[in-house]
Amino acid sequence: MAIGPGLNIAVDEKRFGVSEPLFKGLRFDIAPGSVVALIGPSGIGKSTLLRMIAGIDSDFAGIITVDGTPAAMAPTPGFVFQDPRLLPWLTAMNNIRAVDPRCTPKQAASALQRVGLADAAGLYPHQLSGGMQRRVALARAVAVNASLLLLDEPFVSLDRALVAEMRTLFRAVVGDGQPTVLFVSHLADDAARLADRVIVLQQRPATIVADIALPIAPRSRDEAVLADYRQMVDRH
């Protein structure tokens, strides 16, 4: 897999109606192949920013580019929403193929294999556990665009065992290549375990109050390192 694209975010202003701006003068870059956590309280605009980067929401002043191409014109990113959003009348394989008509059965099967669901291609969502549904959602994102992944609270509402399982899967998928990954969370622990950089948003309009590098590779972080990284994020 080729290294993922670089992102440039330059949002002059984003608002809904006549309300106070959600973003004003928000600017940062994301290096190709990096894994960045976007941390901040609920309602600050993290999910909105993901949709803007994905080209889904273009109603703002400014520009967001993906390898120099405006986001709305760039290749569709792999997007994992807060809930799996699987179509109940389609099998796991066809849920993956539904988002991209060019996705062949072989490609969909390969995506399912990457998330450990090689034997679940013919199952419907009601036949899958909650964790398996999350895996299908991740497989769908990888099938759409394995080089740019945007994840919106991918571990929300999961029990601790399932969170650990999904984090392991996340590391495995990211470790298969060099994708560019931006994931949203409100938990410092997610960032400490998975990211190599953390951007912390606060206030309104949302402001970057911290931009933290986490240089030790996620697979090499012991509990002492994780505690230190969590503290670095929580400090803000």
Q: What is the pLDDT of residues 140-151, one digit of tens each?
A: 998 889 899 999
DSSP 3-state of 102 = coil
DSSP 3-state of 235 = coil
Whether residue 74 contacts residue 4, with contact meaning beta carbons closer than 8 Å, is answered with: no
What is the layout of strands, in order, in the sheet containing 148-152? 78-80, 148-152, 180-185, 35-39, 197-202, 207-213
Give the Cα separation of 199 and 213 in Å (integer): 9
The whole-number pLDDT of residue 215 equals 94
pLDDT in tens, the chain (236 residues): 578 999 999 999 999 877 789 999 999 999 999 999 999 988 899 999 999 999 999 999 999 999 999 999 999 999 998 888 899 999 999 999 998 888 899 999 998 998 889 899 999 999 998 888 988 999 999 888 989 999 998 887 777 777 888 888 888 888 777 899 999 998 899 999 999 999 999 988 999 999 999 999 998 999 999 999 999 999 88
Q: Which domains does the chain have, with CATH numbers?
A: 1-77+147-236 (3.40.50.300), 80-144 (no CATH)
Whether residue 213 contacts residue 196, with contact meaning beta carbons closer than 8 Å, is answered with: yes
The predicted model scores a pTM of: 0.92
The whole-number pLDDT of residue 146 equals 86
Q: 221-231 b/e with 16+ CB inside 10 Å = b?
A: beeeebeebbe
Give the Cα separation of 20 and 70 in Å (integer): 26
With both helix axes pointing from N to C terminus, report the angle between 130-144 and 105-114 in degrees, rounded to the nearest 10. 130
